[in-house]
A and B are shown apart, each in its own frame.
Chain A
């Protein structure tokens, strides 16, 4: 077996759907029917999961550290809000796509700034862009509503047939469908030769360039795609909550997002989804203990995670599931931790 077909064989085996993944999505769907009183928080988790998946695409696969991912979330949120408010595109799904595209344009434009320089410059530039947009949104308060946010958004029925109800049921299944479709696409992308080349770039940009991968073009492409995902997440936020305020651009949003991804693990797409669930539950627990100071505990979680070491932590967390899988399926663990965590 030649080396190239060997690589192809492994890549294809990696890309195959596992039972665990099917089970995961079935459980998520089942949650929708099992907890009819919890639609709002579950929708919130789905949104966060999509947003985290977007960061995972650039952080986990391409190794771009971003402190300002909320910029795209915010652009998506305001775009969806404005589209609905002024009735430009009143059909939600179409508006969702348009909002995503708006964020994508911004992502494409700023990707040229981000691919330059080292980690530190990237951190600064992404952070700066998010702050800049926040300042802009505050400045043009006649469009964005300033600190009050966009108010009076009324969502039209999805496809003109399914209205948003006040319990958030339609919102939940709508978000779930969007998340699943985008997940399928992301899964396809990261297992494609394109996705493999991104990993090569993450591990060593110099070598990747030496074997003929157009490093900058690939980074621009994935950054733009991630911006689209974040924009869609932002648009979902506006559509399901019917508000868009300045805090969509807040630094805390980007920082929390990092935490979500760190809890879940980077570089296998499910990290964002798992992390979002755990993060929201943690937040719930902390805010019931100390309503005002939950941020302290979130900070403590971050510090402890880093000090313990993210990879070690994930090995502990995955120990039990992997044990079960080994016993039942009698083969190697399928929920693996990527070897070179960002």
Chain B
């Protein structure tokens, strides 16, 4: 019984992490209908920046996290303004090729700079180990992830639902043409959201070094996970990807624990079945127009 609860807890932490990593991608897909397979590269950038700050320069972990966010967002907006925006009107094939190219470049570049082995971020002692709560083993680090990601999710939902920017963004996602007709600067909204999504990915990358493992192949290894979150969750709201991430996280942890031999098999089968059953995602109206 307690092992089930511990697994559930780990699964939730994992799922929340996936959500933070992937929710930027949901916006890219939903708003601009742009297939960005290089999303994981931004996460990796955040992770490595955090690692360098903490391990080499002795920054405290919690100070390095915001900087991982900011620098990933900066890289994101730089690339968006220089490269990505030329490709919004192109075919999906072009977008896929372009972003695969970027992914390959980032993998080789990080390999060149930091070496190909897995890196770890030195965690403060307060985050290590686990404690028992009513007999359920709770990892401190995972608890922190749930807290941070949970707060972020609530904040995102509030921003989307309550602020002016949020309503602009929702309008732009629903119908970009009508939105720009109403005087909303859609490219600007998008550039900002793209940068924010990249920042979130960077933060997720920094947090995931401990759980998912951070090495130069991160963007390729987890690309499919991000895509699953977005396609299964649909990209018309934030709750869709959130539920999909939780489902994926819990499913993956449980799958690895209870049927270790089947490994990733569970996830891929689940994804294919869901996509066949509902091509536009479980919770979405339109995954892609």
Contact present for B112 and A262 (CB under 8 Å): no
Chain A residues, Cβ within 8 Å of B262: 139
Q: Do B96 and A132 have beta carbons less than 8 Å apart?
A: no
- Docked-complex contact A139 and B227, CB < 8 angstroms: no
CB <8 Å contact, A118 and B101: no
The residues of A that contact B231 with a CB separation of less than 8 Å are: 120-121, 124
Q: For B107, give the chain A residue with the smallest CB separation.
A: A295
When distances are taken between beta carbons in the complex, the residues of chain A under 8 Å from B112 are 292-293, 296
Residues of B with C-beta under 8 A to A125 = 272, 275-276
Q: Could you say which of A116, A300, A303 contacts B279, with CB atoms under 8 Å apart? A: A116
Is A93 engaged at the interface, CB distance under 8 Å to the other chain? no
A67-B96, A259-B97, A307-B98 known; A123-B272 Cβ under 8 A: no
Please pick, from B35, B92, B98, B269, the residue contacting A303 in the complex, using a CB distance under 8 A: B98
Q: Counting CB contacts under 8 A, is B258 at the interface?
A: no
Task: Write the B63-104 contact mask toward A (1 if CB under 8 angstroms, else 0).
Answer: 000000000000000000001001100111110111011111
Measured CA separation A113–B277 after assembly (Å): 10
**Which listed residue (B90, B104, B106, B268) contacts A131, Cβ 8 A?**
B268
| Residue A117 lies at the interface, judged by CB distance under 8 Å to chain B | yes
CA–CA, A139 to B255, complex, Å? 14
Q: How far is the CA of A237 from the CA of B86 in the complex (A)?
A: 39
Give the contact-size bracket for chain B: 35 or more
Cβ of B271 under 8 Å from chain A: yes
In the complex, the answer to whether A119 meets B224 with C-beta atoms within 8 Å is: no
In the assembled complex, the CB of B40 is this many whole angstroms from the nearest CB of chain A, namely 12
The answer to whether B165 has its CB under 8 Å from any CB of chain A is no
B288 to chain A, nearest CB (A): 4
Residue numbers in B under 8 Å from A307 (CB-CB): 83, 86, 98
Among residues 241 to 263 in chain A, which have CB atoms less than 8 Å away from a CB atom of chain B?
A: 251-252, 255, 258-259, 262
Cβ of A302 and Cβ of B98 under 8 Å apart? yes
The proximity string for A residues 255-291 relative to B, scoring 1 for CB distances below 8 Å and 0 otherwise, is 1001100100000000000000000000000000000
| B35 & A306 in contact (Cβ 8 Å cutoff) | no
Known A135-B264, A293-B112, A299-B101; contact A342-B87, beta-carbon cutoff 8 A: no
Q: CA A255 – CA B101 in complex, angstroms?
A: 9
Q: CB of B261 within 8 A of chain A?
A: yes
Closest residue of chain B to A266, judged by CB? B93
The one of A67, A132, A252, A306 in contact with B94, judged by C-beta atoms closer than 8 angstroms, is A306
Contact between A262 and B97, CB atoms less than 8 A apart:
yes
Q: Is B287 an interface residue (CB 8 A)?
A: yes
Pick the contact of A128 from B87, B94, B100, B224 — CB < 8 Å? Answer: B224
A interface list, Cβ under 8 A from B: 59, 65, 67, 113, 116-121, 123-125, 127-129, 131-132, 135-136, 138-139, 251-252, 255, 258-259, 262, 292-296, 298-303, 305-307, 310, 342
10 pairs of A and B residues whose beta carbons are closest in the complex: A302-B101, A299-B104, A296-B108, A117-B279, A299-B105, A303-B101, A306-B98, A119-B92, A132-B268, A120-B288
